[in-house]
Amino acid sequence: MGNIAIIFAFALALVPPQFGGEDKKGQTAAPQSLQYEIVVTATRIETPARELASSVTVITRTDLERSNRPTVLEALRDVMGLAVIQNGGPGSSSSAFLRGANSEHLLVLLDGVEVNDPINPSRSYDFAHLSVDNVERIEILRGPQSTLYGSDALGGVINILTRKGQGKPRLTLSSQAGSFKTLANAVDLGGSSGRLNYAFGLSQFSSAGISAASTALSGNAEKDAYRNLGLSGRLGIALGDNLEADLIVRSVAARTDLDNFGGPGGDDLNSVQDYRSFFLRGQVRGLFLKNHWEQKLGFSYIDSRRDHDNSVDAAHPFDSEQGTFKGGLLKLDWQNNVFLHPSNTLTLGADLARERGESAYTSFGVWGPYESDFPRRTADTAGLYVQDQLKIAERFFATVGARLDHHSRSGTAVTYRLAPAYFLEATQTKFKATLGTGFKSPSLYQLYAPGTFWGPIGNERLKPEESRGWDAGIEQYFLNGTVLAGITYFRNDFRNLVDFDFSLGYINIGRARTRGLELSGEVRSVENLRLLTSYTRLDARDLDSGADLLRRPRDKFTAQADWMFLKKWTVDLSAVYTGRRADKDFSGMVARDVILPGYWLLDATLSCAVFSRTQLFLRLDNILDARYETVFGYGTPGFSVYGGFKIGLSRDEP
């Protein structure tokens, strides 16, 4: 991929020698320094990017508003080192691979609480139904992170942080429509008054969709529709000068039309899935001992349900199936930040959690009836962690941490993490490195799934999966921190991976390795111009078979540009190249190895502030009308057009 490296170098060469916007007096205003962008997820404390050794990407509320992409999945597509896949159009099953790790090795958090699905066989997270409504920022943290976040964080963490209302009450109405009979509407209300702050949102999304089974293959012509209704809210109250409480809620109800499989004749006319989820979190934060001791106490409740119904139809007169899958989580967490000195912060925490899951599945076909019941099962986990943050002379920064977890079935896991960084003031250069370990407790299904006529499935003697990862890199700042270039090498080794053996069921036999190089560049000029580019070279390999891990691109290149001009217009451009990937064709009796070709996606959004509080926008997706697949045999949208508006009403406006 020498041409990709050339493109990357050319993009960095475009950086002009001086950047700056003009203030109201016509003078050049100082651009915001990238060194002091705040990151929360890396240390569980608000920390400037300059002081972090971790590799992290932040998607801000401004980024989300400029792109006008309605889902978190679409917002993640441009992220360095992250590959997203989807089995069809909107609402279809989706997942993500970070630095080549399995999708179940990516821990997804909503306001710091894990939302990975306990009833999913591998406990991975499905991004299909998560909208950007009321989302303030998304932080993507690479590398093993179990020291702070426990199970599932072998490859990294994605933390979705919701918006906190502030200022005068503001009502925002937005609507967009376009290709595939897509219609999306949203109402948001946010603000603060006295000791109270609030942010509420209601959203609706519908689309006639595309065929989940690719129309490039014979017998796949029926479109698979999708509907989503979402409610989100955050209510906060100041209980005292140094004490505050928050209540966060998020609910989703969705229906997705499905196909039987990705391959010739995979279409199904009446296969549907109904999805329901409910997220509730209450948390209290206080400062004590003259603001030297911060405490955070939280309680979370998550409930989800999937109902799958596929009755007989004209194309499948003898085949039908029904399934119900229920999962949930209860969690209590307590975090303590002790500010021992301006150069030293100690963090100690504990959490208790209980996950549950149950399912029932029946099918009828030419081979007779089949039933698979998974009665309600639970698992408990308890964790203790400690972290110390040091900084010396505003040049040397280090984070050191360790964690002890106990799982009610798989036992104890110990993890650690070291993350030093040194900032050379004379050249504005940061040298950074991290070393850490991660683990993943077996899922409920892997532990307890009942055996069948052909042999066992669940295995209560499973051990946790484990990973050890490290990275090292250099970040170079230019022009007072408004330009940043970086290079990072990473490697992750996985062992005790859970795999399925037809005679033994689930067992710990797998080994894998991912390694690669990440190049990145960013230019920021106040709010007028921002340029981003990145390139990831990845080698992700199954060490037992020697084969490439499925659906991980060896090369990924991204380039983005946001430009505000003539005070009213904003253009957002995005180009992403995804390289060749290994996959499997599962449509036949025997799975067949295939290679998915590389492809380019080019998107653009043009916005105009027509009045003081009204914005019109036009979004173009897949401008090149690329024909591609992220999963073999499944369809993807071609060139599409969407247009809409946003109106913001504040109490003091006429």
Task: Give per-residue pLDDT as tens, 562-613.
Answer: 998 888 999 999 999 999 999 999 887 788 999 999 999 999 999 999 987 8
Check if the beta carbon of residue 577 is closer than 8 Å to that of residue 556.
Answer: yes
Of the candidates 74, 302, 97, which has an alpha carbon nearest to the alpha carbon of residue 207? 74
- The first and second tokens of residue 450, run together, are 């009942």
> Which of the four pLDDT bands, split at 50, 70 and 90, describes residue 48?
very high
CA distances from 648 to 164, 185, 612 (A): 17, 14, 9
Q: Does the structure show a pLDDT above 90 at 537?
A: yes
- The first and second tokens of residue 391, run together, are 């900084």
> Which of the four pLDDT bands, split at 50, 70 and 90, describes residue 30?
very low
Q: Does the structure show a pLDDT above 70 at 470?
A: yes
The pLDDT of residue 612 is 79
Of the candidates 535, 436, 425, 541, which has an alpha carbon nearest to the alpha carbon of residue 488? 535
CA angle 377–383–385, rounded 5-degree value: 160
Lowest mean pLDDT segment, chosen from 27-41, 304-318, 338-352, 638-652 = 27-41
The pLDDT of residue 588 is 78
Cα 15 to the chain's mean position, in Å?
29
The pLDDT of residue 138 is 97
**CA torsion, ordered 355, 360, 363, 368, to nearest 10 deg:** 120
Average pLDDT, the chain: 92
Question: What CATH number is given to the structural domain containing 281?
Answer: 2.40.170.20
Mean pLDDT of all residues in 72-79: 95
Distance CA 496, CA 507 (A): 8
- The first and second tokens of residue 522, run together, are 């960013």
Distance CA 482, CA 31 (A): 6
Instruction: List the domain range (segments joined by +) for residue 120.
Output: 2-650
Q: Which residue has the tokens 């970070």?
A: 98
Q: Does the structure show a pLDDT above 90 at 400?
A: yes
Q: Does the structure show a pLDDT above 70 at 403?
A: yes
The pLDDT of residue 32 is 64
DSSP label of 634: B
Phi then psi for residue 205, to 5 deg, are -140, 135
Q: Which amino acid appears at position 69 of this protein?
A: R
Q: Which amino acid appears at position 30 of this protein?
A: A
* pLDDT, tens digit (0-9, with 9 covering 90-100), for 80-107: 999 999 999 999 999 999 999 999 999 9
Share of the chain above pLDDT 90, in %: 81
* pLDDT, tens digit (0-9, with 9 covering 90-100), for 102-141: 999 999 999 999 999 999 999 999 999 999 999 999 999 9
Phi then psi for residue 180, to 5 deg, are 60, 30
Lowest mean pLDDT segment, chosen from 16-30, 97-111, 611-625 = 16-30
The pLDDT of residue 218 is 85
- The first and second tokens of residue 555, run together, are 């090369």
* pLDDT, tens digit (0-9, with 9 covering 90-100), for 266-297: 888 899 999 999 999 999 999 999 999 999 99
- The first and second tokens of residue 435, run together, are 């070393």
**CA torsion, ordered 302, 126, 591, 153, to nearest 10 deg:** -80
Lowest mean pLDDT segment, chosen from 22-26, 129-133, 337-341 = 22-26
CA distances from 451 to 375, 448, 457, 508 (A): 13, 9, 5, 18
> Which of the four pLDDT bands, split at 50, 70 and 90, describes residue 7?
very low
The pLDDT of residue 40 is 96
The pLDDT of residue 31 is 54
Residues β-bridged to residue 529: 525, 563
Q: Which residue has the tokens 């380039």?
A: 559
What string of DSSP letters covers 164-212?
A: ---SS-EEEEEEEEEGGGEEEEEEEEEEEETTEEEEEEEEEEEE----S
Check if the beta carbon of residue 444 is closer than 8 Å to that of residue 120.
Answer: no
Of the candidates 29, 293, 212, which has an alpha carbon nearest to the alpha carbon of residue 633? 212
- The first and second tokens of residue 42, run together, are 């890396």
Phi then psi for residue 246, to 5 deg, are -135, 145
* Strand 156-162 with 106-110, pairing: parallel
Distance CA 15, CA 309 (A): 54
- The first and second tokens of residue 1, run together, are 């991929």
Q: Which residue has the tokens 């306001």?
A: 111
Of the candidates 470, 570, 577, 558, which has an alpha carbon nearest to the alpha carbon of residue 529? 570
The pLDDT of residue 9 is 40
Check if the beta carbon of residue 134 is closer than 8 Å to that of residue 188.
Answer: yes
The pLDDT of residue 266 is 87
Gyration radius of the chain's alpha carbons: 25
Among 256-270, 306-320, 376-390, top mean pLDDT goes to: 376-390
> Which of the four pLDDT bands, split at 50, 70 and 90, describes residue 617?
very high
The pLDDT of residue 6 is 38
Distance CA 316, CA 269 (A): 9
CA angle 174–58–285, rounded 5-degree value: 85
- The first and second tokens of residue 41, run together, are 């997820």
DSSP label of 11: H
Distance CA 177, CA 394 (A): 50
**Which residue spans within 241-343 are E strands per DSSP?**
243-258, 271-288, 293-310, 320-341
Q: Does the structure show a pLDDT above 60 at 2?
A: no
Mean pLDDT of all residues in 346-371: 92
- The first and second tokens of residue 151, run together, are 């199970």
* pLDDT, tens digit (0-9, with 9 covering 90-100), for 145-204: 999 999 999 999 999 999 999 999 999 999 999 999 999 999 999 999 999 999 999 999
* pLDDT, tens digit (0-9, with 9 covering 90-100), for 421-463: 999 999 999 999 999 999 999 999 999 999 887 788 999 999 9
Mean pLDDT of all residues in 510-516: 97
Which three-class secondary structure state does DSSP give residue 630?
coil
Residue 36 CB-density burial (10 A; 0-12 exposed, 13-18 middle, 19+ buried):
exposed
DSSP label of 26: S
Q: Which residue has the tokens 């003009």?
A: 22
Our count of domains for the chain comes to 1
